[in-house]
Amino acid sequence: MRPVFSRAQLDRDLERAFALEYDLLKSYIRLPVAYEREVVARAHAHGVPVTSHYLYPAVRTGLDGMEHTGGGNRLGYSRTLSYAAGRTFQDSVDLLAASGMWISTTTLFASELFLDDRSLIEDERTRVLFPEWEYRRLLKKAEDAAGPEGELNHAWTVGDVDMLLRVHRAGGLVVAGTDAALDDIGISIHQNLRVMVRYGFTPREALTTATGNAARALGLGDQLGAVAPGFLADLVCVEGDPLRDIGAAAAVRKVMVGGYLSTVPDLLAPFRKPAAAAAPARHRNRVLASAPTARRKGKHYWHAPEWSHHGCCRSR
């Protein structure tokens, strides 16, 4: 993320983004609308899509997509859903469907699914690839799903999916997406798919949001998102039929990328660590312990891990 305070800085950051061949730009919540218009115009001239948290004024400034069903914003009139229960008025649905903008799912409060199914938590891939502290956080998240905030989170999740389904059925473009790294990397995309099916999407509709719709949103609909002649053969082989059981989408057994076929054990092998490998981690902790007191206590928010913040958009 690059905070922008002047047109000169905006120009430098856009030139940097184009030089590094970014696939997408996100205009964040405090960028002035005049700057946003310039970002959209210049990005589109380079064939790069632009998103934000906004529906309006985004539909007037030409943005390509909206992140989240109701992310943080600084414009009081731009809310797309209610704070009380995550419900959306029909005018927001109509604007999304008519504008051609896509909307990302990011069902952040769907941890209720862990109450019925812990398969993603207990999956070998999760255990091997998640750092220890991240795995502990995931376990805590699953435990908290049964806590006092569970009812509110459930209401938000139902409201999120209700909005997404209405946009989808109205002809809008819904794209499966997560809020990584604030969400659970690897797991969240499947939680999104599963909760969409639980509250109204068919398995086929949900899978389309993560395949063909995602490819269309990035302008790659002629290369990705379908199994067809001329498309890139990047494939996953799963056990079961995700068109009947969306949970089978996570039962990956083999992966083909760029013509190379790999099994799950092959992919996990480099990340398996013997017990002795824990020693260097303790050494790093000792080094951290010797750091200045202000830094250890988190004088600045970026000294703390990303997941330690309670929201993605809190003002400091």
Per-residue pLDDT of the chain (316 residues), as tens digits, is 788 999 999 999 999 999 999 999 999 988 999 999 999 999 999 999 999 999 988 999 999 999 988 877 887 766 787 766 678 889 999 999 999 999 999 998 899 999 999 999 999 999 999 999 999 999 999 999 999 888 888 888 999 999 999 999 999 999 999 988 788 999 999 999 999 999 999 999 999 999 999 999 988 999 999 999 999 989 999 999 999 999 999 999 999 998 899 999 999 999 997 754 544 444 444 444 444 444 445 566 556 665 555 555 544 4
* Whether the Cβ atoms of residue 12 and residue 35 lie closer than 8 Å to each other: no
* Residue corresponding to tokens 């934000």: 52
- The count of other CB atoms within 10 Å of the CB of residue 37 is 16
* Whether the Cβ atoms of residue 88 and residue 163 lie closer than 8 Å to each other: yes
Residue 79, pLDDT score: 72
The torsion defined by the Cα of 212, 248, 180 and 147, in degrees rounded to 10, comes to 130
End-to-end CA distance of the chain: 16
Residue 287, pLDDT score: 40
Look at residues 293, 192, 202, 188 and name the one whose alpha carbon lies nearest to residue 244: 202
Residue type, 209: T
Look at residues 10, 30, 120 and name the one whose alpha carbon lies nearest to residue 73: 30
C-alpha–C-alpha distance, residues 278 and 187, integer Å: 25
Residue 183: left if φ>0, alpha if ψ -120 to 50, beta else—which one? Answer: beta
Residue 288, pLDDT score: 42
Residue 47, pLDDT score: 93
For strands 235-238 and 25-26, give the pairing. unpaired
Residue 221, pLDDT score: 92
* Whether the Cβ atoms of residue 102 and residue 174 lie closer than 8 Å to each other: yes
Residue 83, pLDDT score: 66
3-state secondary structure of 261: strand
The pTM score is 0.84
Residue 124, pLDDT score: 95
Residue 274, pLDDT score: 72
